[in-house]
Structure 1
């Protein structure tokens, strides 16, 4: 269906990244955890870049490129949907600025990942480390500004919990990735290479969950096309059951003409109004006409009917 294209973009991007990581990790284990030439002498656990610098380099370049390009498309698509009103629209120029900075930082981070996969750790170690820093910093900055945008959107659209959920996920990513990146840098500088390698793999898998989480951002766009309000669904259900329309008269304009509904009766407002009016009018007219005719003879009033003889005059008079 057409709406699958919205959240399928970040989903596809995250799955490509996960497939690459799993393939590289499994390959290194299947090969017997070898010590690659790009690894340090006292290093036992390979970096992602160590595996990617060997026979899996074409896979590393291709799948990294596909991942970041599709992820950039997800950012641009989110901006377009928000601009066209299919997602909650921005309520200030600053939110649009935050979104623009986030997209720009994402593109920079994407360029960093593509370049670090090309300039591998074995042949271009210095450039590789520089582009690794560009990749991490680019996506952390991007997450900060899109998190800022969602925080402001959540204030204006408090009734939509998806905005708060997305905000907290992105904030968690910022905190976790920033902490892991700091630990990775310290471990590398202090020559704890195995610790640094573990942290690098962890950063990569956390990045997978971050990319995957973006499908949540497209959920309001899906519901806006396929969702019916609760009131509309209730109206339809009552109509199918023969119960008429809603009690507020929203689905039946004729009910406003008849007047207020008596909440103490189960009858419909039109039936109540017609029944009351007809019954009252007919009963009053027939009773009054018959009573007047029977009680009046030739213009004179009949004496009231009594049970038994008339009372005798009082002896006191």
Structure 2
């Protein structure tokens, strides 16, 4: 069922994150731009952390937890679906290691965001800033590893354009977020708090689109009446390629193959036993009963050419034999 697939994880994560940001900003606007206690004297635009440090702190914590947990589930689902063949599988251990590193740093970013929502900027200023750094650095480093994995996947699976599109989206996210993070840090360091607050809101909104990019990654794994998972199509293509290498016949370990070029001909099974009467026995001729006679002989307990036919039915009364 396509509507119970893993693509829901990034949708829920991005929806919760965007909804939380809009709710916090609209509440601050509706209250008339109040000057919160955690804001500097000359600051007129509130940081996200300023709004989330007081009345909307429960919303801030809940939104951060749901956003990051479902995003981590998206990371893990992508890895699991590639491992079990629903997505185009990794072709090397390096790709698997890159995916594992991406998950590790995503979890680090998750801890950073959850902790910064708990240790607010008003009561725990330094701890809050450290958690903010962990959040931004964790997800940027995670995106770098994921981008490297998709770059290698795109080279191997050139027929899947979605891998290259996802690679360029993540690369654009890395470059843009790094630039904005540098501008944010420099303006905040130079006490230009209003400019820094604007850039913080922009960084948070761009993060929404990064989360939605995982919808592009997970959607090819959906199975429906009109769509076959990406990994299954790749497996079918690989089997067809292997069949072409064997002259149009599948490998012996892939099942039976025809013994003649006739498509309606019978098939054989590769058997390692010394003698198989069904497949290796005498086929017979039209004068000796034809090809089917040897099958009837093989199915009996003793072959028909056995001379001692009395041993085939050891006990009997009249016409009944046991």
Relative to the length of structure 1, the TM-score reads: 0.71
Distance across 1 between alignment mates of 2:217 and 2:29: 36
Match of 1:281 in 2: none
The 1:129–1:6 alpha-carbon spacing in structure 2 relative to 1, beyond 3 Å, is: same
The 1:228–1:120 alpha-carbon spacing in structure 2 relative to 1, beyond 3 Å, is: closer
* Counterpart contact for 1:143–1:170, Cα < 8 Å: yes
1:12 and 2:1 correspond: no
Structure with bigger gyration radius = 1
Match of 1:169 in 2: 169
Q: Which runs of 5+ in 1 are unaligned?
A: 230-252, 259-317
Match of 1:212 in 2: 212
Match of 1:278 in 2: none
Match of 1:181 in 2: 181
How far off its partner does 1:83 sit?
0.3
Match of 1:142 in 2: 142
Distance across 1 between alignment mates of 2:85 and 2:226: 15
The structure 1 segments of at least 4 consecutive aligned residues displaced by more than 4 Å after TM superposition are: 223-226
Matches of residues 1-317 of structure 1 in structure 2 within 5 Å?
Answer: 1-222=1-222, 226-227=226-227
The SS at the match of 1:206 is helix
Distance across 2 between alignment mates of 1:154 and 1:223: 22
Distance across 2 between alignment mates of 1:8 and 1:110: 18
Which structure has greater helix proportion?
1
Deviations 1:222-254 (A, max 9, x none): 15874369xxxxxxxxxxxxxxxxxxxxxxx9x
Figure out how many residues of one structure are paired with residues of the other and give that number.
Answer: 233
* Counterpart contact for 1:86–1:224, Cα < 8 Å: no
Relative to the length of structure 2, the TM-score reads: 0.70
The 1:137–1:84 alpha-carbon spacing in structure 2 relative to 1, beyond 3 Å, is: same
Match of 1:288 in 2: none
Q: Please give the root-mean-square deviation of Cα atoms over the aligned residues, in Å.
A: 1.9
Match of 1:263 in 2: none
Distance across 2 between alignment mates of 1:180 and 1:224: 40
